[in-house]
Amino acid sequence: MSFCCSGNKKTKYGGGMSTIFNFLEEHKLNSKHFMEKVEFYIPNFLPRGLITMIYADGGQGKSYLSLCLAKRLLAMGVERLIYLDFDNPLSVLKTRGVDTLIKMHKNLNYIQRSSLDLQPFDLLLKLEENGVSRAYNNCVFIVDSIRNFVDIGNDAKAMRLMNAFMRIRDAGATIILLHHANKDGRNYQGSNNIRNSLDCMYSLEKHLSLLGEINITLEVIKERAGVKDIGFTLYTSTLEMVELDMRIAKMEDKDRVFVDKALKILNKPMNKTQFLKRLGYEKDDKRAREMIERFEGVFWDNKKQSNICTYYPRTTVTTSPIAGSHEIA
């Protein structure tokens, strides 16, 4: 049926003076639509009302991160958290404390294969169908993982999948998608339509960790909300999460060796020349000077007076799971 845009002829949307322009007038954006500002559940990392995807190889800690996020968001008072888990078996969920999380939070809807009579994609279509107006305001969806819904290598199917998520997002939802990296671990699996439909995307990397902890960093790959690289320690027994100082999280082996030596030497205040000499470097060694400056405020502090920097150890130092040596308590 064609649209008529003039006169009193009947149109698809009614008779008389009702035209396609009446329909557009009813649905156009106005000033109230632009009153919303970007807000964060977790500053610089998780924006509200957007689609965020996190990808990594298997075994890097994606599921633990999403469970820790679920616990934090529920504690923050989200109206409803819908966790769509089509990746993990029930036996694994119990060992990770999901049953306890469900008992503690009545506003958590944890959906797993064994509790569902629908195929994952059919469930998504139902959610999309109900995503009208602002039906999902203050709702968070966590999806583990998107490859369980469609063939993510098929452009058309991937686009249809992401259109459904965008429809849910536009109904007010915050969406966190977990996904897998490709064989070399540098990129995500599947169609470019996935990336094109996202608001924010992170690549997750796991680092040296102590027993009962998982230390990760998240590198921004795509952003629409000013998100930044960030790191967390995830506590597997409690599902708590603590932000890491990125200067510590990204330390390499050579950095750890340098810090270990520096902390043993810096047992009393000394200027930079003395500090460098005790470390075995000349005062004009560019790399050593940069290393000292990089970890100021992390492992040691300094006071500058008359253009002379005096370095001194921080008050308390403990073993660090990232550095393999020390961090400030």
**pLDDT at res. 303:** 87
How many domains does the chain contain in total? 3
Supply the pLDDT for residue 189. 95
Strand 230-235 with 213-222, pairing: antiparallel
Q: Is 308 exposed, middle or buried (0-12, 13-18, 19+ CB in 10 A)?
A: exposed
Supply the pLDDT for residue 184. Answer: 80
Check residue 309 and give its pLDDT: 85
Is residue 199 one of the residues assigned to a domain? yes
Q: Are residues 174 and 49 in the same domain?
A: yes
Q: Answer yes or no: do 239 and 264 share one domain.
A: no
Do 123 and 223 belong to one domain? yes
Q: Based on the domain organization, do 309 and 203 belong to the same domain?
A: no
**Is the residue at 35 inside a domain?**
no
The pLDDT value recorded for residue 262 is: 92
For the chain, which residues score pLDDT lower than 70?
1-18, 33, 35, 315-329
CATH number for the domain that contains residue 146: 3.40.50.300
- Other CB atoms closer than 10 Å to residue 208's CB: what's the count? 13
Please name the residue that has the structure tokens 């009947």.
10
Q: Is 34 contained in some domain?
A: no
10 and 84 share a domain? no
Residue 144 lies in a domain: yes
Same domain membership, residue 225 and residue 319 = no
Provide the CB-side half-sphere exposure for 225 (13 A, CA).
23
pLDDT at residue 38, rounded to an integer: 82
| pLDDT on residue 7 | 47
Same domain, yes or no, for 288 and 223?
no
Domain that holds residue 287: 253-328
Q: The domain spanning residue 311 has which CATH number? A: 1.10.10
Looking at the fold, whether 221 and 267 belong to one and the same domain comes out as no
Same domain, yes or no, for 5 and 99? no
pLDDT tens figures, 116-145: 989 999 999 999 999 998 999 999 999 999
Residues 91, 48: one domain? yes
| Residue written as token pair 């995830």 | 234
- The reply to whether the predicted model has a pTM over 0.85 is no
